[in-house]
């Protein structure tokens, strides 16, 4: 209540230089001030306290206007960032979560099938050798046809051969890295 009372008292107080202004006026001027609202308002507005208050209000309004402009600019940036975030969450995060879940499942499956690293490396090398032999056998079978293969069978062979060789190299590389 003390601070509230002080604020009210200041709001209704007479400017410090107002009494001096009144004392310097003649009786005729004082009567004019009492009867003419515009003259009284002009006298009051000329006091230092009122001029400082008006200047303070102008500065405050300008600062509020600048803050509003800054807030509007920031609001635009926030909206843009929210849009980017929503876009990233709906695309990249979903793909990353799916890839992570698949990798986690693969790790769980491999751990169940290969309890030790040495066993996993051996099985990877065995599978790579098996794929290499299969590729050689497929290539030999294709060569034995002496060009009497239709286009679809050739496309199927190439697709399967590339897939097997890619898997073979991936297994060999994985085994080499794991063994280091």
Per-domain residue ranges for the chain?
A: 116-180
pTM over 0.75: no
CB count within 10 Å of CB 53 equals: 13
pLDDT at 47 over 70: yes
Q: Angle of helix 37-45 relative to helix 48-88, nearest 10 degrees?
A: 70
Residues 68, 28: Cα–Cα separation, whole Å? 49
Q: DSSP letter at 116? A: S
Lowest-confidence segment of 6-20, 109-123, 140-154 by average pLDDT: 6-20
b/e 157-180 (16+ beta carbons within 10 angstroms → b): eeeeeeebeeebeebbeebeeeee
Please report the pLDDT score of residue 159 as a whole number. 94
64 versus 16: which is more confidently predicted? 64
Residue 4's pLDDT band, with cuts at 50, 70 and 90, is: low
What are the C-alpha distances in Å from 105 to residues 44, 94, 96, 101, 112? Answer: 83, 16, 14, 6, 11
Task: Express each pLDDT in 49-108 by its tens digit.
Answer: 778 788 888 888 888 888 888 888 888 888 888 888 887 777 766 777 787 788 778 777
């Amino acid at each position: 209540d003390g601070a509230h009372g002080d604020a009210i008292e200041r709001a209704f107080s007479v400017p410090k230089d107002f009494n001096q202004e009144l004392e310097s006026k003649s009786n005729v001027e004082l009567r004019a001030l009492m009867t003419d609202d515009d003259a009284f308002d002009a006298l009051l507005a000329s006091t230092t306290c009122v001029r400082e208050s008006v200047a303070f209000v102008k500065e405050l309004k300008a600062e509020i206007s600048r803050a509003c402009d800054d807030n509007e600019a920031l609001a635009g940036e926030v909206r843009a960032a929210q849009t980017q975030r929503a876009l990233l969450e709906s695309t990249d995060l979903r793909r990353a979560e799916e890839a992570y879940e698949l990798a986690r499942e693969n790790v769980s499956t491999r751990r169940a099938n290969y309890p030790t690293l040495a066993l996993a490396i051996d099985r990877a090398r065995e599978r790579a050798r098996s794929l290499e032999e299969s590729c050689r056998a497929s290539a030999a079978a294709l060569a034995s046809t002496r060009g009497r293969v239709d286009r679809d069978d050739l496309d199927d062979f190439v697709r399967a051969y590339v897939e097997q060789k890619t898997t073979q190299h991936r297994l060999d590389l994985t085994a080499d890295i794991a063994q280091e």
